[in-house]
Amino acid sequence: MAINENQVVSIEYSLTEKGQSEVIDTNKGHAPLEFIVGKGMIIPGLEESIKGMSKGDSGVVEVPAAAAYGERNPDAVETLPKEQFAGIELEKGLQLYGQSEDGQTIMVTVADFDDNTVTVDYNHPLAGKDLAFDLTIKDVRDATEEEINTGIIGGDSCGCGTGACH
């Protein structure tokens, strides 16, 4: 039976950039990734591809950049005074977290730095990359009414105490 909206899906996956062999992320050998289809909990291209699958299906799902983390935005790069990074041991590729003007948590990547300035990139590290997920659908079930309403799968199943399991 094909996967539909408002179902809880559990997947095991390894993520690579399309055409590459280096694994970027994986949960193989760990707890499966669980999400509710139709709630925007995973990247759109992966969610759409999974809708045609069923429990037990395996395969490689390719997701173009536009349906993953979007294309790179060259305007999302900023050069800031190095004093703003006092006490931080800078290195290229370092990911830092801060707050946007509206109080949201944002991640930036240190693109470059010198004695006076630090160039940060606000793009997601996987922006502009076509992705390949080698995945297996481990389980599929209908979401409960509470899961549909809250977006929280199984209550506090991660044990983190916040209910914000990612």
CATH of span 74-121: 2.40.10.330
The model's pLDDT over 104-163, given as tens digits with 9 standing for 90+, comes to 899 999 999 999 999 999 999 999 999 999 999 999 999 999 999 999 998 644 444 444
Question: Does 3.10.50.40 match the CATH number of domain 7-69+127-150?
Answer: yes
Tokens of 80: 């800031």
Q: How far apart are alpha carbons 49 and 31 in whole angstroms?
A: 21
- Where does CATH 3.10.50.40 sit in the chain? 7-69+127-150
Strand intervals (E) in the chain? 7-17, 23-26, 33-36, 58-63, 77-81, 95-99, 105-113, 117-121, 131-142
Distance (Å) of CA 38 to CA 62, 157, 159: 19, 20, 24
Give this prediction's pTM. Answer: 0.81
Ranges in the chain annotated CATH 2.40.10.330? 74-121
The token duo for 121 is: 């990139």
The torsion region of residue 7 among left (phi > 0), alpha (psi -120 to 50) and beta comes to: beta
